[in-house]
Structure 1
């Protein structure tokens, strides 16, 4: 039997609750809750929080209404992704939740950029933890638990006794993140399971994330990744917004419509072999043409993975992936290649030229 892959990024969290494939089916057909409390949380307060963040992030947040959210990135000067975050604006605070281990570096960068702005960024990871509720029955579970169900996508609503619930934006799937007081994590878990959510582990969550082609920083990206390659244009980058570090690269690549690589879904013909792992090469005729990202065993698709491959690799190319004893034939799912990656939409160049003026 093909070995179920895990990820070092989620060490310390339950990989499954007894039956990872059944947990996936619950997420796909009902609702399941997964502990994602290893994620970091940054809180930004102060009267200038929105205008200040607007200058640092790739997303347009200067007028982000209260009780709404979005996604955003921090780029380096060459337009490469350093941080990905999910944003929630509640009352008088903007919360940014990030990949495990990213908060210290992100907070250090934010604090260096304060200057004279009236803002206070701080690490709130010890105060708040993330639970994710996934599945078409998400609204029903929230209602049975006596909780609000904000509008999709990215609606935000306060939770009793602190924290908030935020609807997630997954293609073809309903989901919500609950950012709850860390010392009440167990009681929130019990509340959601009592309302009908099945207990699930990170394996199930990651498998459905791979199916939805939702990239994850550090797993599906490397030090060279730019937003266009992994589908973060639109969801985390506002193309008509300028005035942030790395935006010249964003505008130039969007104008040309030709990112050097693209994120694709791979089907793995692993048989009884051990699956590739993140960072393994994708090979064509013995030459590396990409890198493996998140690997999962899906309850319907079987072994699958996200991968960054060179844009000129055809969908029907004969490929292998892995290293040493993990090499296995793979095939690109042609439906995973967005047509907009091959040519910019009409009028994009003029829009981008306007965006460069801020």
Structure 2
């Protein structure tokens, strides 16, 4: 596989430990009872991430679950869990002009960024459309950029095209740095109350790693950059249970965190993502595409925008499901499309998700109908974030 996690064996070992714990619990609850043919092995489940490689083989997989989505989700809400970031890539930007160059290329104001600071930004093209969604971590050795693994090559190419006489070097460091996260209320104690977008070098399992706080699940969360060859030791040093994509996906939808290449993608305008306040500065110098982004901010509005929705029944529409105005049937004109959805444990298993909506129908409280398995069901439009600090915002 082109992009393989260095933690696959650790996933398998933890799955086996969980199976052993389950058998021990069952035996203690039912002494002398027949147990039948309980499984002797429990293999982690993986799902593809992104398109296949040039040879047709799957280029990247993410851990879906070790066997119990419910337990993994509970970790995120009750204590904390670790999430393997096998779908994340890294670009290292080095040189005396690295920060100044990035400030002139990206949507965020970075000119004064110093070691120990992090920022989020978009790389946009000359038409103002997103090319990649970035987390930048400034260390004493340069700037580490986190992004989707499938956009590393195109992002390096786009940035290198603007290097002329500057002292800047861009390196695909995805094989040098691995990524994982730690999320949940107890995670903040592991990193001594680290504030959002502050970077700290800490030791995990005897390994020096870079940590920054990025809250993605409606509660504390930390992104960890670890040298690839020492990822396993640092992973064990976290000393918490593992969480797969299925559980993490529910929590990040509840927390109002859209993902590039899932809820928006290359070609989307920044104002369509709902992330402009976090990713874009309107008090900085020019960058490619800046005029288009600024014009949208001051003179217009996007034709579509990402919003949250909540179903009024038990239906769970999947990504790609069409959204219609309330009162219109299937022959009506679609006004949106679902990008992500889940059953929210924090909201009593209500069906929630994100949909890219026509702006004229995106006001919170707007009633719509969403297509699911041949029928239409009522829903209401709302903000992206449905859960904050373990409860509904404002409750």
Structure 1 position 234 matched with structure 2 position 277:
yes
Matches within 5 A, 1:196-211: 197-211=240-254
Q: Which residue of 2 aligns with 1:355?
A: none
Q: CA deviation at 1:328?
A: 4.8
Matches within 5 A, 1:262-281: 262-268=305-311, 271=314, 275-277=317-319, 279-281=320-322
Q: Which residue of 1 aligns with 2:212?
A: 166
Distance 1:159 1:106 in 2: 29
| Structure 1 SS opposite 2:346 | coil
Distance 1:299 1:97 in 2: 29
Q: Which residue of 2 aligns with 1:131?
A: 180
| 2:377 alignment partner, one of 329, 334, 344 | 329
Distance 2:285 2:229 in 1: 40
Structure 1 position 186 matched with structure 2 position 232:
yes
- Pair member with larger Rg: 2
8 Å Cα contact 1:166/1:176 also seen in 2: yes
RMSD between superposed Cα atoms in Å? 2.5
| Structure 1 SS opposite 2:366 | coil
Q: In 2 relative to 1, CA 12–157 (structure 1 residues): closer, same or farther, beyond 3 Å?
A: same
8 Å Cα contact 1:150/1:167 also seen in 2: no
Distance 2:101 2:321 in 1: 39
8 Å Cα contact 2:257/2:384 also seen in 1: no
**4+ residue runs of structure 1 moved beyond 6 angstroms?**
none
Q: Which residue of 1 aligns with 2:342?
A: 296
Q: CA deviation at 1:258?
A: 2.7
| Structure 2 SS opposite 1:287 | coil
Q: In 2 relative to 1, CA 328–19 (structure 1 residues): closer, same or farther, beyond 3 Å?
A: farther
Q: Which residue of 2 aligns with 1:318?
A: 368
Could you list the per-position Cα deviations for residues 86-133 of structure 1 after superposition, in whole angstroms to 9, with x for gaps in the alignment?
110001210111013110101111222211110101100011111110
TM-score (norm 2): 0.74
The count of aligned residue pairs is 320
Distance 1:335 1:182 in 2: 37
TM-score (norm 1): 0.82
Distance 1:151 1:263 in 2: 30
| 1:283 alignment partner, one of 321, 324, 343 | 324
Could you list the per-position Cα deviations for residues 230-249 of structure 1 after superposition, in whole angstroms to 9, with x for gaps in the alignment?
22222111111231111112
Distance 1:223 1:33 in 2: 28
8 Å Cα contact 1:266/1:330 also seen in 2: no
Structure 1, unaligned stretches of length 5 or more? 1-5, 143-147, 339-358
Could you list the per-position Cα deviations for residues 58-85 of structure 1 after superposition, in whole angstroms to 9, with x for gaps in the alignment?
0111110211101011112221111101
8 Å Cα contact 1:31/1:136 also seen in 2: yes
- The answer to which structure, 1 or 2, has the higher relative contact order (CA under 8 A, 6+ apart) is 1
Q: Which residue of 2 aligns with 1:351?
A: none
Q: Which residue of 2 aligns with 1:260?
A: 303
Could you list the per-position Cα deviations for residues 189-208 of structure 1 after superposition, in whole angstroms to 9, with x for gaps in the alignment?
2221x3xx221101222212
8 Å Cα contact 2:316/2:342 also seen in 1: no
8 Å Cα contact 1:69/1:154 also seen in 2: yes
Q: In 2 relative to 1, CA 22–104 (structure 1 residues): closer, same or farther, beyond 3 Å?
A: same
